[in-house]
C-alpha cells in the first residue's frame, strides 16, 4: 500500500527498496530478488576471473578435487603448529564443562 502511494505503479519501485521489503527466503537474510542479484554477480565474477582455479585448464581433475576439499581449518593446520581444529573454523566450538 505504501509503495503504491510513493511510486504510483509497482513497475516504478526502486529494485533495492523492493528487494529489501521482500519476505526473506527460508534460512536466508534476503528475499528472492536480492538473492538472485548477488548470486548472479558472484557467478559472473568467478567466471570472468582468469585466476580462479576452476577456470585454469592446466589443472588436473585430481588437483581440482584437492582444492575443493581444502578448508580454512586445513589451511590453518598445514601452516601453523596447531595439530587439530574444528572443521567449521568460522564457528566457535561448544564448550562442555
Dihedral sign of CA atoms 35, 39, 42, 44 in order = negative
Q: Is pLDDT of 29 > 70? A: yes
State pLDDT tens for residues 58-78.
999 999 999 999 999 999 999
Please state, in angstroms and rounded to a whole number, the distance separating the CA atoms of residues 54 and 65: 10
Exposure on the CB side of residue 36, measured as CA atoms within 13 A? 7
Q: What is the pLDDT of residue 79?
A: 95
**Nearest-CA neighbor of 39 among 18, 25, 59?**
25
pTM of structure = 0.65
pLDDT band with cut points at 50, 70 and 90 for residue 91: confident
State pLDDT tens for residues 2-28.
888 888 888 889 999 999 999 999 999
Q: What is the pLDDT of residue 6?
A: 87
Amino acid at each position: 500500500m505504501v509503495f503504491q502511494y510513493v511510486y504510483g505503479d509497482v513497475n516504478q519501485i526502486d529494485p533495492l527498496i523492493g528487494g529489501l521489503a521482500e519476505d526473506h527466503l527460508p534460512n536466508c537474510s534476503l528475499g528472492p530478488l536480492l538473492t538472485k542479484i548477488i548470486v548472479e554477480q558472484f557467478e559472473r565474477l568467478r567466471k570472468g576471473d582468469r585466476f580462479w582455479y576452476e577456470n585454469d585448464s592446466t589443472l588436473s581433475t585430481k588437483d581440482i578435487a584437492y582444492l575443493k576439499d581444502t578448508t580454512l581449518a586445513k589451511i590453518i593446520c598445514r601452516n601453523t603448529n596447531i595439530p587439530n581444529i574444528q572443521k567449521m573454523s568460522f564457528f566457535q566450538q561448544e564448550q562442555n564443562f
